[in-house]
Amino acid sequence: MTELSNKTIINVILALMIVSLCPGCQDPKTNTGSAKPAKQRLESNEVPTIDASNASSPVISVIVPPETDHKNNSDFLLLATRDPKSNELLPVHGIYRRTDGLVSFTPSFPLLPNRDYEAVNLLTNQSSSYRWNSTNGRVPVLSISPSHGMLPANHLKFYLSFSEPMQQDNPWEHCKLLDITTGHFVPRPFRHTELWNRTGDRLTLWFHPGRQKTGVNLNVEIGPILEPDHEYQLIINAHWCSLAGSAVGKETKLNFVAGQPDHFQPDPELWDLAVPSADTLEPLTIRFHEPLDYALLNNRALNVFLSKVPLESRQEVSQNGLGIRITPQKPWVAGDYDIQINPRLEDLAGNSIERPFEVDLNKETEDHSKAQQITFTIDP
């Protein structure tokens, strides 16, 4: 008993000495990893020792008595998280190894920063805490497109663009739609399908299509999401975190009024072109007659050709999808140019160059497709 107490005291002293060398540690029992962690080894068979050379993947060890060969390695040592509600320890998965009277454990997955773990010697029930700290990344900045003051009542989607890759699960839980006119939040307005871009920094947030599409059961039963002439506020909460752990930090609000539903297709023949002069690097400026889909426009929806040779150019889409500026890499030469248009280019209500979002089959007697090519001339 005396020997055990002495060992415990020695261990505590050793632990305190090591912890005192580790800046920023508050809890004397916490082993803390850092970018350049000290190698920690407590010569004891009671408190698990933690080698935090690799802070996210520490090696945790206990010394085991020789007469315990028949036991499983997992009978000696456990790394766990503690459930704050039930206070139970839940095992972290890892790989066990046994060499020279030592059982060691390495987690199968990197441990998360800024989170508490507990290593338990299951023979003695002694434990030591582990935590490694990392600074959170930059605060994400959010912008929403489109951001017009008026949107058609059959508007389909918003693009939420962040400056950082974001945590992605159930994004609609961060979003609400307030009907300012009635003072009530619109119940479940968003499509519950996670549509992130490949870099994880842009979410396509759809209104529920079953309510926006004419004749679909939800549209018939409970009506569309937006009522014409009502004022709305799209609200994105402040708690949404980046993958690096930083929250947006402030609520983002977008106000708009719902106009009449838009069932008309974009028509390139109605677009206004400001044609540049020859031998200049002035942009070709195209102004659409209605806002078009910002993401589709940015995906090279328009391509300029001179005598069937593609023009090397830089394209800038206006934030609200009302226009585009096409600047050539080399000065314009005189000639007749074609602009090829992706037939899938849509307006805000999903009507594309190719076809309306909703085709009324009772009236389907014509080819819906609008011009997929327009021309302009640069004079000598």
Partner 1 sequence: MKRLTFFGSCLTALLAVTVYFLQAPSADALTKDSVAIMANVQEGDTDISRIGRMSFAPNGVLLVADIGSASIVAIDTGDAGPVKKLKERVNDVDKKIGAALGTDKEGIRIADMAVNPASGKIYVSVQRKADGLNAIIIFDEKGTLSPLDLKKARYVRVSLPVADQKTISNISGVEFSNGRVLAAGQSNEEFSSKIYSLPLPLTHGKSGEVYSTETYHVAHGRWETRAPIQSFIPYEEEGEDYIVGSFACTPIAKFKISDIKKDAPIKGTSVVELGSGNRPMDMFTYEKNGKKWLITNTDRFHHERRPLGPSQYWGVRVDMSYLQADKINEEAVRRVITEKSGPNGIEVVDALFFAKHVAKLNNDEMVILRDNKGALDLEISKLPE
DSSP 97-130: EEETTEEEEEESSPPPTT--EEEEETTTTEEEEE
Answer yes or no whether residue 91 interacts with partner 1 by CB under 8 A: yes
List the one residue from 27, 173, 194, 251 that touches partner 1 (CB under 8 A).
Answer: 194
Long-range residue pairs from 320-323, CB within 8 A, at least 24 positions apart, any chain: 320/145, 320/146, 320/147, 320/148, 320/291, 320/294, 321/145, 321/146, 321/288, 321/291, 321/292, 321/293, 321/294, 321/297, 321/348, 322/287, 322/288, 322/290, 322/291, 322/292, 323/285, 323/286, 323/287, 323/288
Place of tokens 């594309």: 352
Output the CA–CA distances (angstroms, integers) from residue 121 to 31, 40, 74, 100, in the order listed: 15, 16, 10, 17
Tokens standing for residue 254:
């977008």
Tokens standing for residue 28:
């004397």
Amino acid 228 reads P
Nearer to partner 1, 210 or 259 (CB): 210
Nearer to partner 1, 113 or 259 (CB): 113
Answer yes or no whether residue 358 interacts with partner 1 by CB under 8 A: yes
What residues between 283 and 342 interact with partner 1 by CB under 8 A?
Answer: 293, 295-296, 299
Smallest distance from the beta carbon of 6 to partner 1, in angstroms? 35
What residues between 26 and 55 interact with partner 1 by CB under 8 A?
Answer: none
Answer yes or no whether residue 343 interacts with partner 1 by CB under 8 A: no
Answer yes or no whether residue 218 interacts with partner 1 by CB under 8 A: yes
Smallest distance from the beta carbon of 91 to partner 1, in angstroms? 6
Answer yes or no whether residue 59 interacts with partner 1 by CB under 8 A: no
Give the DSSP letter of residue 30: E
Smallest distance from the beta carbon of 243 to partner 1, in angstroms? 5
List the one residue from 39, 97, 115, 250 that touches partner 1 (CB under 8 A).
Answer: 115
Which residues contact residue 101 at a Cβ distance below 8 angstroms, ignoring those fewer than 6 apart?
63, 64, 65, 66
List the one residue from 10, 176, 245, 275 that touches partner 1 (CB under 8 A).
Answer: 245
List the one residue from 171, 234, 350, 370 that touches partner 1 (CB under 8 A).
Answer: 350
Tally the residues of the chain.
Answer: 380
List the one residue from 38, 98, 210, 325 that touches partner 1 (CB under 8 A).
Answer: 210
Residues that bind partner 1 (CB under 8 A): 80-81, 83, 90-93, 107-112, 115, 117, 156-157, 165, 167-170, 187-188, 191-198, 200, 202, 204, 206, 209-210, 213-218, 220-222, 241, 243, 245, 293, 295-296, 299, 344, 346, 350, 352, 357-362
